[in-house]
């Protein structure tokens, strides 16, 4: 995207002399477009559950409440859509927070990676249905990493929750650790439904969800879990890679520098 400004314009005999300055404003324009897209996508996503909630409440008030079956069914829908709304607002807040985080606002401390991961796994165990999916924490107990524990906790939570949700009964999710001289890696792997090759780059886009991820039923979600992961990993100076095969499972490999430094210098 080019912006043009005429700074000099004069007629000399039969000729015009003109000086035009051209500015490449692609970057600013793209950022602005992305923000506008985000606001319009977010509003759209919020409107869907709100419309359902108010629609079903109104139908109940207009008489459906006298039919006990309809009363139960519609209340269940209202409850489900309200939960979706709560999750969506939490994720939207979370992504705008991670996006505006400057490296100075991170709280870098030394943490035990295995303990940090275990805390998130325990919270997930108490907060969601595990559908008989087993979560195995293979991170050695003695590993210490320099990181922002809150942000890394959220990354682990989102990846493990996805490994459970996009899985089958008796599937498993595992967390493991690897290191080289300068870097460490956290690997979150599952043997769930997998992601088709052509979908893999798209799952990191905001609000993107793979539509046919379970035959007959779509796992509920916001499409913001992986974008939050990508944004937070970047804040922590790291990078994320996805390896997946449809029907076999997915592996998310997160790589961080051992000496913490902000992504701008990485």
Residues that bind ligand ADP (CB under 6 A): 162-163, 166, 190, 192-195, 203, 208-210, 213, 221-227, 250
Q: How far is the CB of 259 from ligand ADP (least distance, A)?
A: 30
Centre a 10 Å sphere on the Cβ of residue 25 and count the other Cβ atoms it contains: 12
Q: How far is the CB of 249 from ligand ADP (least distance, A)?
A: 7
Q: Based on the number of CB atoms within 10 Å of its own CB, is 157 exposed (0-12), middle (13-18) or buried (19 or more)?
A: buried
Residue 90 or 110 having the CB closest to ligand ADP: 90
Q: How far is the CB of 200 from ligand ADP (least distance, A)?
A: 9
Residue 190 or 260 having the CB closest to ligand ADP: 190
Q: How far is the CB of 253 from ligand ADP (least distance, A)?
A: 13
Whose structure tokens read 């919020």? 46
Residues forming beta bridges with residue 144, ordered by sequence position: 112
Q: Which two tokens stand for residue 236?
A: 């922590």
Residue 111 or 154 having the CB closest to ligand ADP: 154
Q: Based on the number of CB atoms within 10 Å of its own CB, is 178 exposed (0-12), middle (13-18) or buried (19 or more)?
A: exposed
Residue 114 or 173 having the CB closest to ligand ADP: 173
Three-state secondary-structure class, residue 213: coil
């Amino acid at each position: 995207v080019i912006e043009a400004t005429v700074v000099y314009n004069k007629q000399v005999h039969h000729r015009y002399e003109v000086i035009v300055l051209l500015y490449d404003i692609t970057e600013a324009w793209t950022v602005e477009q992305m923000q506008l897209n985000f606001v319009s996508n977010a509003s759209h996503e919020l409107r869907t559950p709100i419309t359902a909630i108010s629609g079903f409440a109104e139908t109940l008030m207009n008489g459906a409440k006298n039919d006990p079956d309809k009363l139960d069914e519609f209340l269940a829908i209202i409850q489900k859509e309200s939960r979706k709304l709560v999750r969506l607002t939490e994720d939207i807040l979370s992504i705008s927070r991670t996006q505006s985080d400057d490296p100075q606002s991170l709280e870098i401390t030394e943490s035990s990676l295995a303990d940090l991961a275990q805390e998130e796994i325990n919270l997930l165990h108490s907060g969601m249905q595990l559908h008989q999916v087993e979560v195995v924490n293979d991170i050695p107990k003695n590993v210490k990493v320099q990181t922002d524990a809150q942000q890394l906790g959220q990354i682990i939570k989102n990846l493990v929750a996805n490994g459970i949700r996009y899985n089958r009964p008796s599937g498993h999710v595992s967390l493991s650790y690897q290191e080289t001289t300068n870097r460490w890696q956290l690997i979150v792997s599952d043997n769930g439904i997998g992601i088709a090759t052509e979908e893999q780059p798209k799952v990191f886009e905001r609000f993107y969800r793979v539509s046919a991820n379970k035959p007959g039923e779509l796992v509920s979600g916001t499409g913001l879990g992986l974008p939050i992961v990508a944004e937070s990993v970047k804040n922590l100076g790291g990078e994320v890679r996805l390896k997946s095969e449809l029907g076999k499972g997915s592996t998310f490999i997160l790589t961080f520098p051992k000496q913490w430094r902000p992504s701008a210098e990485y």
